[in-house]
Amino acid sequence: MDSLVQSGWQISSYFLCLFLEPDWTWVLMMYLVTHYSDFQLACIGSFILHESVFFLSGLPFIYLERTGFLSSYKIQTKSNTPEAQGKCIARLLLYHFCVNLPLMLASYPVFKFMGMQSSFPLPSWKVVSSQIVFYFIIEDFVFYWGHRILHTKWLYKNVHSVHHEYATPFGLTSEYAHPAEILFLGFATIIGPALTGPHLITLWLWMMLRVIETVEAHCGYHFPWSPSNFLPLYGGADFHDYHHRLLYTKSGNYSSTFVYMDWIFGTDKGYRKLKALKET
């Protein structure tokens, strides 16, 4: 097991280099494919890549809350205590190793059956980008309905209320949830790749983008450089923070990345009214 963990860290570091030096993509993927099995790459590598991206993108927001740095961009004036932050991290590590990792291991045969591959040739950027767009579209649709169902009375009380323990979210709370919710909403993330049977590099890129997006949506800060200021229909932190502040029966804003589902079904009316009042 120690060798697998060491291999996972190496896989993670090598893949991060792909974005720093795109010209090395072919060489590094050749190295990975020839030195590690498909199982190591798809399961151990994916898990440690997820942990690296998740904690590296989420931990800075704990620092911001504790120091008060950039507080002028904080959406809520309230902050979480160090004890609450520590509880979140401890529970996340438990869930990640006891729920996420087994889920990744169990998903390997499914993805292989659906056509996931790590061999050459690498997919073109046109193929990668079109698949990523498809994943965002289908994930938004499935997540919206799954999230909305979780806000029904029984499911909220027994499952989804765990995620809402933090009415003032920070980056790491994005994955703080009941194990049943992790499995339930995790389906929205994997259904796109399961349908297309992507190359492993596409799956990794999708995972990284999805993790960064959900951390940003829960970060509790609205910066001038926040994606919602530039990307049409992108929800972001301001949109999702509203969802955490209200009671489950009145929250709305159920969307994942883009907000068109809430707009179509009118579940963002309260947020829109509040935003309009602030702008007047």
Confidence of residue 24 (pLDDT cuts 50, 70, 90): low
Asked if residues 123 and 193 have their Cβ atoms less than 8 Å apart, the reply is no
pLDDT of residue 122: 77
pLDDT of residue 114: 79
Would you kindly state where each structural domain of the chain is located, as residue ranges? 2-67+76-279
What predicted TM-score, i.e. pTM, was given to this entire model? 0.88
* Model confidence at 33: pLDDT above 60: yes
Weakest-pLDDT range from 37-41, 218-222, 224-228, 237-241: 37-41
Supply φ then ψ for residue 90, to 5 degrees.
Answer: -60, -45
Confidence of residue 20 (pLDDT cuts 50, 70, 90): very low
pLDDT of residue 51: 96
Of the candidates 57, 40, 55, 52, the one whose C-alpha atom is nearest the C-alpha of residue 16 is 52
Greater pLDDT, 260 or 19:
260
Residue with tokens 């323990």: 165
Side chain identity at 233, as an amino acid letter?
L
From the centroid of its chain, how far is CA 259? 16
Residue 49, token pair as written in the block: 């890549």
* Model confidence at 96: pLDDT above 90: yes
Query: What is the pLDDT averaged over residues 70-82?
Result: 94
Of the candidates 174, 249, 242, 254, the one whose C-alpha atom is nearest the C-alpha of residue 213 is 174
Query: What is the pLDDT averaged over residues 104-130?
Result: 83
d(CA 77, CA 79): 7
Helix (H, G, I), strand (E, B), or coil: what is residue 221?
A: strand
pLDDT of residue 249: 63
Of the candidates 190, 237, 188, 276, the one whose C-alpha atom is nearest the C-alpha of residue 64 is 237
Query: What is the pLDDT averaged over residues 209-234?
Result: 95
Asked if residues 140 and 260 have their Cβ atoms less than 8 Å apart, the reply is yes
Query: What is the pLDDT averaged over residues 16-23?
Result: 50
pLDDT of residue 225: 94
pLDDT of residue 4: 47
* Model confidence at 9: pLDDT above 70: no
Residue 121 preceded by cis peptide, ω within 30: yes
Residue 109, token pair as written in the block: 């045969």
Helices (H), strands (E): how many in the chain? 13, 0
Greater pLDDT, 259 or 35:
259
pLDDT of residue 110: 80
Weakest-pLDDT range from 74-88, 208-222, 242-256: 242-256
161-191, pLDDT tens digit by residue? 999 999 999 999 999 999 999 988 888 998 9
Asked if residues 158 and 48 have their Cβ atoms less than 8 Å apart, the reply is no
